[in-house]
Amino acid sequence: MFSPKRWLLAILLLNAVLFSAAPAAAYEIDVTVSGLGGFDLGAFDLNVNYDDELLTFGSYTLSEELGSFGEGDAEDWSLGDIGSGTVNLAVLSYLFDFSTQPDAFTLATLTFSGDEAGLAGISLSDIILSDDLGDPIPFTVSGTDISAVPIPGAVWLLGSALVGIVGLRRRARK
């Protein structure tokens, strides 16, 4: 049977394996537009720049505020990750009625993994916003909304330690 020392060694080994196998922190980046006022956003094309030494691009999801991609109301013209720490996002809408378009909404959500320090370097460039007729919309860039996605790595570490302590107490009672 296991002695308390062997239980402790097994728990420490399990923690080391779980901790080393824990994935890098994951982050979601929302690219939003606001203050459209009297403009109807009909298309956009932009680049999201990031430090590819600190972050790894995962994926992007486009909102359907410019129309449904499945029903042919809009087309995804995005190039995705084009290398050198740049992700290109582009959508063209074929809708005729933008009367229900809100003044502010999320254009896309991107996922990254890696070092949190890389979040400070995320920026937008080569931005083109156009209305439903293809005319440019004047804009100013005010930033991006960055939020961490919870990763259960610390939960595994804490949980395995608690299981080990319970096991040691039960063993000590016998």
115 and 84 within one domain: yes
Residue 87 has pLDDT above 50, yes or no: yes
- Total count of domains within the chain: 2
Give me the domain span that covers residue 12.
1-23+152-174
4 and 29 within one domain: no
What pTM does this model have? 0.70
In terms of average pLDDT, the best of 26-30, 41-45, 97-101 is 41-45
163 and 94 within one domain: no
55 and 44 within one domain: yes
164 and 83 within one domain: no
Q: Classify burial at 153, counting beta carbons within 10 Å of its beta carbon; exposed 0-12, middle 13-18, buried 19 or more.
A: middle
pLDDT digits (tens, 9 = 90+) for 39-64: 889 999 999 999 999 999 999 999 99
Burial 21-51 (b: 16+ CB within 10 A, else e): eeeebebebebebeebeebbbbbbbbbbbbb
19 and 81 within one domain: no
How sure is the predictor about 21, in pLDDT bands with cuts at 50, 70 and 90? very low
67 and 134 within one domain: yes
